[in-house]
Amino acid sequence: MVLNIAMDGPVGAGKSSIAKAVADRLGILHLDTGAMYRAVGLSAIRAGVDLQDEAAVTAHTRQIDVAVAHSAQGQRTIVNGEDVTDYIRTPEVSMAASTVGKYAGVRREMVAIQQKLAASTPMLVDGRDICVRVLPGATVKLFLTASAEERARRRWNEMKDKPDAPSYEEVLRDLRARDAQDMNREVDPLRPTEDAVIVDSTEMNFEQVVAYILKIVEEKTHE
């Protein structure tokens, strides 16, 4: 069986960087599914689609081609042949990703691509609905979280020296808004499944979280 590791968690829990480090240590690929919703959000914004219009966003998603490529530096995310990786991390695109992620038709398209990728290749897949929808049969299921204040503090630390950096309060407010939208949507809301191991990193540093997850993977793959 192909090794699939499913990792869900809220904004700023460190999923992307932790997932990449764990995948690198295991010698498998890391699929960042959030980047795919971000790519849809960016594409819809650029095309002038009203993000609140579910039918229009869904139709737009069906018209575009979202793909990923893996390089030594990690995942590149591609829309209609254009590498959009460098344009999908703005606050505007973050919120757009969360909004387009509410729509069932958009989710169906993204889930199908993700399942196809993971079916044949050992992967660690991170996102919001991986344990419940994308890889319900994953060998290892993880829910990575931390307190909202700690997640906002980490986010803010990454951004604070950039020009036009938001204040800590703004970061915390945006994070809570996105949490609320991701956890309260109708289709596959973010929540830990019963068979997921909850990893609360509030009191752990990066290396401790990576080591802890590698230990869980080791245990689960030898069960």
Residues at the contact surface with ligand DC, assessed by CB under 6 A: 11, 33-34, 37-38, 94, 97-98, 101, 127-129, 178, 182
Query: Closer to ligand DC at the Cβ: 27 or 51?
Result: 51
Q: Which residue number, 19 or 217, has a Cβ lying nearer to ligand DC?
A: 19
Tell me the closest approach of the beta carbon of residue 114 to ligand DC, in angstroms: 8
Measured from the CB atom, the residue of 133 and 221 that comes closer to ligand DC is 133
27/52 with CB nearer ligand DC: 52
Shortest Cβ 32–ligand DC spacing (Å): 7
Radius of gyration over every alpha carbon of the chain, rounded to an integer in angstroms: 17
Least separation, in Å, of the C-beta of 8 and ligand DC?
Answer: 7
CB of 169 to ligand DC, least distance (A): 20
**Cβ-based nearer residue to ligand DC, 51 or 101:** 101
We find the least distance from the C-beta atom of residue 219 to ligand DC, in angstroms, to be 25
